[in-house]
Amino acid sequence: MQAIRKYRAANLTERREAQRFKVDWTIRVSPLKTDELVLEEGILRDISSTGSYGLFTNGFEVGASVRVMIQLPLRRQGWISYPATVLRVEPWDSGAGIALIFDAVRPSFVVADPDQEQKQ
């Protein structure tokens, strides 16, 4: 049996191959390489196995190494965490849309309050 591949028209602005899932979850992003605790909270718009896209009040620089915390829609508060790189920053209303590419294949699962973990 041969796998069938679907070919799409070339889209210069969207290059992700992995399947994306539209969501409306809380996302927090903070820089990895700084002593300052800078935390941006926003709305996660889509996620795939390789990256995500969120809307934020402020942006990060393209190429910045960041830590991404995504709140899962569960009864018990749970979060997943990825190291990531800022791939693209786009103007959005009074803020920025940020495309992130995950630097790890699997997330870390965080059961505790992520605010406490950020302070450690």
**28: domain CATH number?**
2.40.10.220
* Average pLDDT per consecutive 10 residues, the chain (120 residues; last block may be shorter): 39 62 94 79 95 93 95 87 95 92 93 55
Q: What is the pLDDT of residue 74?
A: 82
Contact status, residue 78 vs residue 68, Cβ threshold 8 Å = no
**pTM of the predicted model as reported, rounded to 2 decimal places:** 0.76
User: Residue 81 forms beta bridges with which residues?
Assistant: 69, 108
Q: Is residue 12 part of a domain?
A: no
Q: Is residue 39 part of a domain?
A: yes
Residue 115, domain extent? 21-119
Q: Is residue 86 part of a domain?
A: yes
**Domains contained in the chain, number:** 1
Q: Is residue 85 part of a domain?
A: yes
Q: What is the pLDDT of residue 11?
A: 42
Q: Is residue 78 part of a domain?
A: yes
Q: What is the pLDDT of residue 51?
A: 95
Q: Is residue 14 part of a domain?
A: no
Q: Is residue 65 part of a domain?
A: yes
Contact status, residue 114 vs residue 77, Cβ threshold 8 Å = no
Q: Is residue 113 part of a domain?
A: yes
* H, E, C per residue of the chain: CCCCCCCCCCCCCCCCCCCCEEEEEEEEEEECCCCCCCCEEEEEEEECCCEEEEEECCCCCCCCEEEEEEEECCCCCEEEEEEEEEEEEEEECCEEEEEEEECCCCCEEECCCHHHHHHC
Q: What is the pLDDT of residue 18?
A: 81
Q: What is the pLDDT of residue 66?
A: 96
